[in-house]
Amino acid sequence: MKLRRWIATGVVAVATVATLNALPATAGRQYDPAEQSLRTLGQRHGLHIGTAVDLAVLNDPADPRYRQLAASEFSSVTAENAMKWESLEPTRGSYNWGPADELVAFARQNNQSIRGHVLVWHNQLPGWLTSGVADGSISKEELRALLKKHITTVVSRYKGKIWQWDVVNEAVSDPWDNPPTLHYKGFWAQHLGPGYIADAFRWARAADPKALLFYNDYNIEAFGSGDPANDKTQFVYDMARQLRAEGVPIDGIGSQGHLGTQYGNYDTLQVAAALKKFSGLGLATAFTEVDVRSQLTEGVQAGDSAEINPRLQASAANFSVLLRACLADRHCLSFTVWGFTDKHSWVPGWFSDPPEGMATIYDENYLPKRAYHEMKADLIYAGPPYVLPRVPHRPRR
């Protein structure tokens, strides 16, 4: 009896292994997870792997690899600039929907979900709006009405097509700002007061009740160990808790994840703890703009491998920290990189003194870097009991 059970178990085991080896094999070769795309590897976890997309490059016939990889490696896309207010309404009252519509069509063709970015931000506002406020021709009442109209128009146009909207972006100051006490910063807080945040979420919800509504910010990857009164992550946490308590329709917190290898950054456990604290409020979480830049020292620029290698390794390690933390939080729904190739990253144009770069997962020739392979390994070698599939989120109210 015992022997028969052993034999039976053995037969089942051999059959199972045989099936596992046979099932996904293509052309007689064994299944190798390392040959799968990021988007395929994310699927087992229910995790969307996303990228920001530059529409001009996507449409450049001289650069076909960009379009291929944007389609094949990612299951979520974000417009890098095309859905910002200055892009959508460069002249008051006349909209330029073309590039944003193209992204929506691209996502549909490739079975990708879309993170809408961004409805309310103090940067990349149209000149007519900021100058009108500055010269007094746009009053506070009119400004509030314009914001409501903007949110309603944009969210309605893409109703049912956007998975997650970044409703409010970067509303909170940094400890190095003036005054150093953390506060609501920027154009909207200055002119409308912090109440604009709750208003924006309510207007967005009214225009598309099915989209998940996110607050998005940088430097909120982990809680600090010092004074909580000076901790940006804590400030955002308190804000989110307050908004939930007031019944404001916020569904998620987006942590941008712009890191640099010259900084201390965080370890996986710190980042996972922060995500879990946010999701403990009943919110979804996401990494929304991940890149890990490095200073391009003279040695790096001269091709000195003793300076290049530590940066490539540190960059890969930091991508991995954020991805593993995301995997560890069942409410972390998506992991989006802010561009996937050093050929088209915003970093060199933005951080030039000292020059910085090398921030993405593919090099300038579209060769995958160590960071890309580490991301794959993280997706492959994660599973129960500590990494479980994502819990689906629906808009709360």
Cα 223 to chain centroid, rounded: 19
In this chain, which of 73, 80, 199, 221 binds ligand XIL, going by CB under 6 A? 80
Q: Does 78 bind ligand XIL (CB under 6 A)?
A: no
**Is 256 or 360 the residue whose CB approaches ligand XIL more closely?**
256
**Is 168 or 327 the residue whose CB approaches ligand XIL more closely?**
168
**Is 79 or 323 the residue whose CB approaches ligand XIL more closely?**
79
Q: Does 89 bind ligand XIL (CB under 6 A)?
A: no
Q: How far is the CB of 349 from ligand XIL (least distance, A)?
A: 7
Q: Does 335 bind ligand XIL (CB under 6 A)?
A: no
Cα 217 to chain centroid, rounded: 10
243-282: contacts with ligand XIL (CB under 6 A) = 256
Rounded to a whole number, what is the distance in angstroms from the first to the last CA of the chain?
Answer: 59
Q: How far is the CB of 338 from ligand XIL (least distance, A)?
A: 6
Q: Does 356 bind ligand XIL (CB under 6 A)?
A: no
Cα 20 to chain centroid, rounded: 34
Residue position matching structure tokens 């997650």: 164
Q: Which candidate in 73, 80, 89, 170 is catalytic?
A: 170
The Cα 103–Cα 111 span in angstroms is 12
Q: Is 80 a residue of the active site?
A: no
Q: How far is the CB of 380 from ligand XIL (least distance, A)?
A: 29
**Is 356 or 378 the residue whose CB approaches ligand XIL more closely?**
356
Q: Kindly write down the DSSP assignment for every residue of 221-241, as one continuous string.
A: SS--SS-GGG-HHHHHHHHHH
Q: Is 86 a residue of the active site?
A: no
**Is 55 or 327 the residue whose CB approaches ligand XIL more closely?**
55
**Is 216 or 294 the residue whose CB approaches ligand XIL more closely?**
216
**Nearest CA among 151, 92, 83 for reference residue 118:** 83
What does the longest C-alpha to C-alpha distance in the chain come to?
Answer: 91
Prior bond of 118 cis (ω within 30°) = yes
Residue ranges of E strands in the chain:
48-53, 76-79, 113-120, 164-169, 212-217, 252-255, 258-260, 284-295, 332-337, 356-357
How many CB atoms neighbour CB 105 within 10 A? Answer: 11
- Compute and round to an integer the Cα radius of gyration of the chain: 23
The Cα 166–Cα 164 span in angstroms is 7
Q: Kindly write down the DSSP assignment for every residue of 176-198, as one continuous string.
A: TSSS-S--B-HHHHHHH-TTHHH
Q: Does 66 bind ligand XIL (CB under 6 A)?
A: no
- Written as six digits, the tokens of 80 are 């890098």
Q: Does 341 bind ligand XIL (CB under 6 A)?
A: no
Q: What is the DSSP letter of 30?
A: P
Q: Does 320 bind ligand XIL (CB under 6 A)?
A: no
Nearest residue to ligand XIL on Cβ basis: 346
**Is 37 or 130 the residue whose CB approaches ligand XIL more closely?**
130
Q: How far is the CB of 335 from ligand XIL (least distance, A)?
A: 16
DSSP β-bridge partners for residue 287: 255, 335
Q: Does 169 bind ligand XIL (CB under 6 A)?
A: yes
How many residues touch ligand XIL under the rule CB under 6 A: the total is 6
The Cα 272–Cα 320 span in angstroms is 12
Do 315 and 369 contact (CB within 8 A), yes or no?
yes
In this chain, which of 223, 346, 351, 372 binds ligand XIL, going by CB under 6 A? 346
Q: Does 208 bind ligand XIL (CB under 6 A)?
A: no
- At position 124, the amino acid (one-letter code) is Q
**Is 119 or 323 the residue whose CB approaches ligand XIL more closely?**
119
In this chain, which of 73, 289, 342, 356 binds ligand XIL, going by CB under 6 A? 289
Q: Does 285 bind ligand XIL (CB under 6 A)?
A: no
Do 113 and 75 contact (CB within 8 A), yes or no?
yes
Q: What is the DSSP letter of 312?
A: H
174-203 footprint of ligand XIL as x/- string (CB under 6 A): ------------------------------
Q: Does 87 bind ligand XIL (CB under 6 A)?
A: no
What residues make contact with ligand XIL under the rule CB under 6 A?
Answer: 80-81, 169, 256, 289, 346
* Residues catalogued as catalytic: 170, 289
